[in-house]
Each structure stands twice: as C-alpha cells, then as structure tokens.
Chain A
Amino acid sequence: MIEQTNAESHLLTVNGLTVEYWTRRGKIRAVENASFTLDRRETLGVVGESGSGKSTLGLSLIKLVPYPGRIVSGDINLEGQNIRRMKDEEMRDVRGRRISYVFQDPMTSLNPVEKIKDHFVELIQTHEPKVSKTQALERANQLFRDVGIQEERISDYPHQLSGGMRQRVMIALALALNPSVIIADEPTTALDVVVQAKILDLLNTLRDRYGMALILITHDLSIVLQRSDKIIVMYAGRIVEYASSVDLYSSTQHPYSQGLLNSIPNIELIDQKLEAIEGSPPDLLNPPKGCRFWPRCSFAMPECRIEEPPLFETKKNHLVRCYLYKDETNDQ
C-alpha cells in the first residue's frame, strides 16, 4: 500500500510517525501514521489548516514537540540514521547541523537585546567550539551575502531590521551549520506579498546552491503548488493526499483537497466562482468515527462513517485516503 522504500536511498524517510498530546482532557492524536520521503534538492510542501497537525509534524522531525506532546511511534531516518532513537545530547547535534528550522515569526526567534552578529557567533561556537570568533563572523558575513542583506547590518539589533530582513536573518542562521534539511514553518505568513515572493525565491536558490532539501509548511495551497515538488495535504492529523504538485493539481483526488482548491481565489481567472467547504474541522479530542472528513464531505458513503480509509496508491507516488479510490489502486 504505502511505497516500500529503502531507508538508505533517501535523505529523509519518515515511517508511521504518530504524535500525541496527552492533555488533561484526553489524548489528542495530532499526527497519525505519517510516512513520506525527501531527497536532496527537493521541496516537500505540507499544507493544512490550523490544527491539522502540520506544525506538529515539522517539530517532531527535530524532536521538539512541545509539552504535553510526544512521539508515540514511528521512525525518522535521516541519512540512514534513526533519529527517533537518539538521546537528547545527540539530538542537539542534529538540530541546526543536519536539520534546521525557520519559524513563522522572526521577532520571537531573535533575542532583542543581542546584536545580529552575536546570534551567529553564539550559534556557531556552541556547535563548533573550535571555531574562533573571527572565523564565525567571517562565516556570518558570507551568509549575509547569501541571503542578500548588506553586511554592515550585521551589527544591528533585531528591531532595527524590517520583517523581511529578519526572516532573511533567520534563514541565514538556519544555514549557518550547513544542514541537509531546512524546515520552514509558515516562513512568509507574517510578510507582505512582494517580500514573500522574494523570500520563497531565496529559499529555492539556496536549496539548490547547497544541495539541501526543503520542507515548506504552510496553510497557503497556492504557495505549495508553486514552490514544491511534492505535497502532503493534512486534515485533522492525517495525511489525506500525498502526490507530486503537478499530479495534485491536475488530478486532485481527495474531496478535501478539491474543496481547498475550489475555495482559493486565483488572480488569473475572470469571474471565478468560489466554493466553500461546509462545516468546520473536527475537535481532535472527539474525532468523528471513520474518515475524519466525512461530516463535511459531499461524497460520504456509509463505509466512510464506519472505518477510516487507508491510503490508496492510485498511481505511482499518488496516495489518497479516500474510499472513492479503493478500486483504482495501482497494484504492483
């Protein structure tokens, strides 16, 4: 059913990842049984609404799921090593050096009373104690050139930079230790469209220049369709569709993905009719029985209410969690 892959052959292979938040009111499965792969120079887009589990998925890859969350099962294989089994000290070496994270709001990620250059020196020297301050600063200057900020701004404090520049600084910090994977969680949500386009261009350029892989987490389907090679659509903690962006667009399968596509305005269309998805996402403390989407789905069948559908592979590398496609399974 799910593509059988040799963990060694991909840069990152995630298998059966399940993350739960153990709250006082009950267990919430924020991510359930997520599997995917990622290669160098590839961008994976993860799209979903608030509460779909997309950020939890991203954070679990660096094992920083906030309390009371925990990874309850699954493997995360990075370059052949299962980081799920790693101890905290080992993880410190993974974060930043092998996988780095760019958060949505750069102002809360930067220390307001520290100059930008000190952020770089601290980061580099923590992970590479042998590097001198001068060497660290040299590297910071190079990174500033990479992300397109004037070098003299490196002596500024965070508040002296604009939102777009701060996000560039965050990207430069994420690059500082030369990671193989960058996870960017809503990197442009707080920015204006003109700046947004520039930041996304920059991420793509750097991905190719340094041979990294990029995971782009966002609620904006337009962005992932334009910027990713493949896409995961998440709904209520589940991967409901996983396909190349071209396939997801030209043969959209899951009713939720179709609903999302029909509900976003396209600036290039004239007299577009938008269609809403009725209802709202489920409460994950009390998810509906069967498919999580059936209460909002116009194609819901009796079986959808009884048991949750598995992921069907309708064609090579196109997976969809919906009974509408159970007979189209592409059996090898």
Chain B
Amino acid sequence: MTSDEILRVEHLKKYFPVEKGFLERLLTTSRRFVKAVDDISFSINKGEVFSLVGESGCGKSTTGRLVVRLIEPTAGQVFFEQKNITEIEKGAFREYRRKLQIIFQDPYASLNPRMKVGQAVGHPLEIHHLEKGDEERKKVLEILQRVGLTPPEQFINLYPHQLSGGQRQRIAMARSIILNPEFIVADEPVSMIDVSLRTTIIDLMLELRKEFDLTYLFITHDLAIAKYISHRIAIMYLGKIVEMGDKNEIFSNPMHPYTQALMSSIPVPNPERKRKAIELKGEVSSAIDIPKGCRFNPRCPYADKKCKAAEPELIPVKPNHLVSCYQTKA
C-alpha cells in the first residue's frame, strides 16, 4: 500500500447465479454460477491510467461495475481513499457516487433520448443538490465548452439523436466531470466511435485527467489503445488477472502465454511486417465450468501436469510485473 494509492481492490469476486428451468429446479438442489470475476486484486495510484484488457466475457466490465458499486460483489472489498466502500450503506454512498463516475461504451444507449443536452449534463447537479438555476446553466455551458462542444449555447438545446457518436461520448464525459469526480471508470469509451474521431476522444480524456486531477480505470479489448493511453495494464482471462504491470514492461516482455498470444494476434498497420499469430487451441472455456488448475491450461501450448493440478498465483517476477503462470521464470 502506497501513500498515493487511490483505489484498491482485494479478492473481488462476482458470481452470477444461472437461471434454471422449471424441471431442473424441482429435481436438483445444486446451484450453478457464472464466475464472472473470480478473485482479483489490484490497486491504482492517484493520477494513473490503469487498463483492464481482455476478450469479451473475461470479466473486465463486471469489474468496472463492481468498483463503482453498480452491482454488489459476491466477496471481496473495494477501498477508495483507504475506506472500504463495499460496506458503506446505500444512503451514505451518495458522496462516493459523486467521486466515482463511469462512462459506458454505447453513447446511443447511455443518454436519455427525451432529455436535451443541457438537461442531461445538468441532471447530476440536481441529483446531488449542487448548483441550481442560473448557476447550473453557467456550469453546464462551461463544461460543454471544455469538452469541445462549441458553441455550448447551441448544444444545450439539442437532443441526443441530433448528435454524432463522438459528440455523444463528449456529452457522457461532460456529465461525469461536472460533478468534479476523482475517479472515472471508462468502459470501452471509444470502441463504437469511428477511427478518425477516436483519437480526439482519447486525447480529450487525457487532457481532462491533467486538468481535473482524475484517475482512470480504462476497460478495453484493444491492446493497442491500452498501450497508448495507460501507465499500467492488467490482462484478464476468464475472470482472473493473468498478468499485470508497467505498460512498457508488459509490452516489451510479455510473459503469460495468453498475453503473448493476444499480442501476436493484433494486426499491425504495415503490409511488410508479416507476423505469425500464436495459435491457441479451442476457444475460451465456459465461466460456469472453469477448468481445474490454471484456467488457461486447455488452450495453452506449454501446459503440463502441474498446470492441470493447481491454479498458479499472480506473483511478481520483477518489480511491478506480476504473472500467474508456472512456466515463466523470473
């Protein structure tokens, strides 16, 4: 634990019960669970951009939602500024709702189609009993200007359907930062935005981080974007972090076979650079029946007896480089 740590997650788990059919409910008593997040721990320092990277279904979005307590964990704790926010009662949590914000992937679904931009951006102020009336309007205009929606006087009277995807994502940013938060979870914020506009949104996020002293938990499936934006990265596979560390360390020296395969599969924009993707056997296992031992072993090219027997722990192999694999040597 360091002094500038802002968020710490300890042994976080989220199991979703599997719905059973009528007959099955009568005949069986055992319950089955989708182990979306299965015991992960990490910490984020103030001002840092920390990325969770993984394929669909690896639990990265669930982790994001757990961190801001949109859903309750099955087990484990989340500490924000050294306070265990998983224990705080619902009513008292409001203060943390303001400090911990989340931006979603789909800017078409995350804005109320019947609310004008001005209302949508000012709404959080009303909910938290902050600025009202003229002051609210002033603040909304200021924030819209800041996220690049100019002239703001024109934008406040528009409805979401009159805006492009990039503009909507700017509204989502505006709505989060109007509350002066300290921590933002950004869940795939640019994956639905066209390539030529993506960079402007990412750059805006990075500028706002400096200006408002923000810390980001950035969730993405795209390693290349994670590499561009983050200080540290954690790679998730089937509910677990398999590798975590400094960005440059992870990219220059990926150790987990899954990270290596993931990196080798990413297309590089250069026709003369022929890369050979590392072949993985089969497909991601089900999060209901997680393989015994290392959960990656059925697909791993290096798996041996040990890997099938017990799950490896996430252990440091270097300062600030942790790997969960028996086959890597420090």
Q: Which residues of A contact B (CB under 8 A)?
A: 49-50, 162, 164-165, 192-198, 201, 219-223, 225-228, 245-246, 248-250, 259-261, 263-268, 270, 272, 274-278, 280-281
Contact = CB atoms under 8 A, between A and B. Distances in A.
30 contacts: A49-B195, A164-B283, A194-B265, A197-B277, A198-B277, A198-B279, A220-B195, A222-B267, A222-B269, A225-B269, A226-B268, A226-B269, A226-B273, A260-B196, A264-B224, A265-B228, A266-B270, A267-B227, A267-B251, A267-B263, A270-B248, A270-B251, A276-B197, A276-B200, A277-B199, A278-B200, A280-B164, A280-B166, A280-B196, A280-B197
Interface in B195-232: 195-200, 202-203, 221-225, 227-228
Ordered nearest first, which 6 A-B pairs have the shortest CB separation? Answer: A276-B199, A222-B267, A192-B55, A265-B224, A197-B265, A245-B271
Given A193-B221, A221-B269, A226-B267, A275 B277 contact: no
Nearest to A228: B271
Contacts of B200: 276, 278
Interface residues of B, number: 41
Contact of B271 (A196, A201, A246, A259): A246
Interface of B: 55-56, 164, 166, 194-200, 202-203, 221-225, 227-228, 248, 251, 261-275, 277, 279-280, 283
A249 B272 contact: yes
A49 B195 CA distance: 7
Contacts of A225: 267, 269-271
Nearest to A263: B199
Contacts of B279: 198
B228 A274 contact: yes
A179 to B, nearest CB: 26
Contacts of B264: 197
A211 B275 CA distance: 24
A267 B248 contact: no
Given A49-B194, A193-B55, A194-B280, A267 B199 contact: no
Given A198-B277, A263-B199, A268 B268 contact: yes
A267 B197 contact: no
Contacts of B273: 226, 268
A263 B198 contact: yes
Contact of B202 (A192, A221, A274, A281): A274
B260 to A, nearest CB: 11
Contacts of B227: 265, 267
Contact of A193 (B199, B228, B265): B265
Contacts of A246: 271-272
Nearest to B200: A276
B272 A267 contact: no
Nearest to B223: A267
B197 A222 contact: no
Contact of A267 (B166, B194, B224, B274): B224
A198 B264 CA distance: 12
Given A192-B221, A263-B198, A267-B268, 12 more contacts: A49-B195, A194-B265, A221-B269, A226-B271, A226-B273, A226-B275, A228-B271, A249-B270, A267-B224, A268-B268, A276-B196, A280-B166
